[in-house]
Amino acid sequence: MSHEDTAMTCELGQPTPTETYHYGVMRRAIDLIDAGGADLTLEELASRMGMSAAHFQRLFSAWVGVSPKRYQQYLTLGHAKTLLQERFTTLDASHAVGLSGSGRLHDLFLRWEAMSPGEFARKGAGLQIRYGWIDSPFGAALVMATDRGLCGIGFAAESTREDVWADLTGRWPEAEFIEEPDAVAPWVQAAFRQQGETRLHLIGAPFQIKVWEALLAIPSGQVTTYSEIAQAIGHPRAVRAVGTAVGRNPVSWLIPCHRALRKSGGLGGYHWGLPVKRAMLAWEAARLDA
């Protein structure tokens, strides 16, 4: 395996300078396509990245799982509208709110349990939360877990690591945080490599957890709307509150808040930055059709 390929693997620990550089290259390529460069040839994209076409193709395919050309078909400003037209899913309330907590969801085995309201009110008091930084397909990610499962995933693509750390730890200020990457490794492997079982521990207010349960019902490669989620959880007029709860999802990617769009076809917001949301939607759609 080459040095370039090694840098693209999802290893635990601090990203190397090469990993950081490669992610920056991918981000610049995405920005070019977002700016209207969907018709750029492989050679033109590679030239703008300062690479040979062969090197750029290999690096891009390792990062996203498909070729630059296939990715370009999905990473466009109009992709959200296309998704709503072709891959919109209607959430049935009985399934969205009454999930069993086990079984196959999306492309992964997810087992989850929610913290009780009383536990949530204690702001993490008595909880030990282990954490580690990983290199994910969407940049450096901070992953956190209790002994019951993953409770936090935050991305540093648009923010500093310090900001991501402050964001996640601020949600459970009374918890004890222990740096122990090996403790979260098995769930991390399942989460990003789609191998084995991933356990989730949902830490949130009751209304937030209902919204996150509804998000878990959206299949990979499909999307829904904030109003559809509000309808599914029995609060059809609470679209704004649903949007806030979606934004407070602490386990990004696995609880797929990136699959929630506006009725108009707009992307809506995304806590870790809209470029990350676009990348996630395009990554899923491209791999689904690969």
**Strand stretches in the chain, DSSP E:** 104-105, 108-114, 128-136, 139-146, 149-155, 176-179, 197-202, 224-225, 260-261
> Does residue 177 surpass a pLDDT of 90?
yes
- pTM for the predicted model, two decimal places: 0.72
* Number of C-beta neighbours around residue 119 at 10 A: 14
Residue 146 confidence class, pLDDT cut points 50, 70, 90? very high
Please confirm, yes or no, whether 151 is among the known catalytic residues.
no
- pLDDT over 50 at 274, yes or no: yes
Q: Who contacts 197 (Cβ-Cβ below 8 Å, separation ≥6)? A: 108, 109, 110, 111, 190
Is 70 exceeded by the pLDDT of residue 152? Answer: yes
When pLDDT is cut at 50, 70 and 90, the band that residue 94 belongs to is very low
More confident residue, 116 or 204: 204
| Choice among 132-141, 159-168, 190-199, 217-226 with the minimum mean pLDDT | 190-199
21 pLDDT more than 80: no
The span from the CA of 224 to the CA of 270, in Å, is 15
What φ, ψ does residue 283 adopt, rounded to 5°?
-60, -45
Report which residue type is found at 206.
P
> Average of pLDDT values for 208-235?
87
pLDDT of 13 above 90 = no
What integer pLDDT is reported at residue 137 of this predicted model? Answer: 73
Q: Sign (positive/negative) of CA torsion 3, 47, 275, 81?
A: negative
The pLDDT value recorded for residue 61 is 77
For residue 76, pLDDT over 90 is answered with: no
Provide the pLDDT for residue 10: 33
In percent, the amount of the chain with pLDDT more than 90 equals 23
Question: Mean pLDDT over all residues of the chain?
Answer: 76
Confidence at residue 283, expressed as pLDDT on a 0 to 100 scale: 76
Q: Which of 116, 154, 148 is nearest to 129 (CA)?
A: 148
Contact 290, 104 (CB under 8 A): no
For residues 13-20, give the mean pLDDT: 50
pLDDT at position 24 is 67
Which of the listed ranges 126-140, 194-208, 244-258 does the model predict with the highest average pLDDT? 244-258
Between strands 149-155 and 176-179, the pairing is unpaired
Contact 127, 250 (CB under 8 A): no
Q: Which candidate in 30, 83, 257, 280 is catalytic?
A: 257
Report d(CA 286, CA 270) in Å as an integer. 20
